[in-house]
Structure 1
């Protein structure tokens, strides 16, 4: 899951007066596969939902590290095949194949921060325990990791809320 705003670390003061983050920072590494990423030709990729978190299928993809656009498209297709059993990347199930699908969106090189539950809005032990979410971040933010992001071709442009380099977002177009 993602949010569209830039990352802002929220902290709380503990009983002993120590300030700590409300959510812990997580850097996906060897445990990335255990947390929803797949590996395709050495790339760690996962599908992401939009800010509303109400879609059955991914509206976008994130890949760890800065990667080439063509590699992202191939990895996204592999993700959809492996996770959802799709044979192509272009349509959501039930979509009308006669409707024009916009060309595959370009990937952006940006940064994100992965936050892990617990979150102050949810008590420990709830359904959100041990889940993560990602927020876009400038490269200088604490815990920011380089990622490549791409909207799913069938998702409306506004759904994925990926950073847009043409609008001054902290991102550049992938080659």
Structure 2
């Protein structure tokens, strides 16, 4: 008996009624990261992630490829916000009330994820999601996983980014 997959590649129906993959597994590499929203900062590749709401103006979390130190992840997240949004400070979102209490910068976690790119190159659908990617958290034992250091934005709610929490048994460990 085989265990069920923890992620599923989306499919679409072709003109002939057969199902085709609408995504492919994508492995980020240095050559293609800038084309997919990552920036390079002191040898680290970082991207912002949204919370899935249509009104997310700024990232609720950050992904850094590979397992990195917590301090390096914070620095990479700040660099991402500076380059992408022209923002010089990490604790608040722009236009937030500076007197609002912001919790400490959350700890980064070492975890793994699978990157899925839309569409599958052989079955392009020319939709608004063409050439975009999504990431699904996965345990290290799952096929096609990429090591990731993830950090929630300090001003985002604890559940906004859905970053795995090692204290709740998620497949992750705290970064040091």
TM-score normalized with structure 2 length: 0.86
* Counterpart contact for 1:61–1:152, Cα < 8 Å: yes
Aligned twin of 2:7:
8
Shift of 1:21: 4.6
Aligned runs of 1:23-42 on 2, under 5 Å? 23-29=23-29, 30-42=31-43
Q: Which structure has more RCO (C-alpha within 8 Å, separation ≥ 6)?
A: 1
Aligned residues: 166
State the 4+ residue runs in structure 1 displaced beyond 4 angstroms: 11-15, 18-22
SS at match of 1:158: coil
The Cα of 1:9 is off from its aligned counterpart by 2.5
TM-score by length of 1: 0.86
Report the CA distance shift for 1:82/1:107 in structure 2 as closer, same or farther (over 3 A). same
Contact 1:151 1:162 in 2 (8 A): yes
Does 1:163 find its partner at 2:172?
Answer: no
Over the residues paired in the alignment, what is the CA RMSD in angstroms?
2.3
Quote the residue 1:44 is aligned against. 45
Contact 1:9 1:21 in 2 (8 A): no
SS of equivalent residue, structure 1 residue 160 = coil
Asked if structure 2 preserves the Cα contact closer than 8 Å seen for 1:7 and 1:113, the reply is no
The residue that corresponds to 1:100 in the other structure is: 101
- Indicate if the aligned counterparts of 1:112 and 1:134 stay in contact, CA closer than 8 A: yes
CA drift at 1:20: 6.7
Q: Secondary structure at the match of 1:87?
A: coil
Cα deviation per residue 1:41-96 (whole Å; 9 max; x = unaligned)? 10000000013353100000000000000000001011100100001011111211
State which drifts further: 94-103 or 21-30.
21-30
- TM-aligned CA deviation for residue 28 of structure 1: 0.4
Structure 1 residues 164 and 81 mapped into 2: Cα distance closer, same or farther (>3 Å)? Answer: same
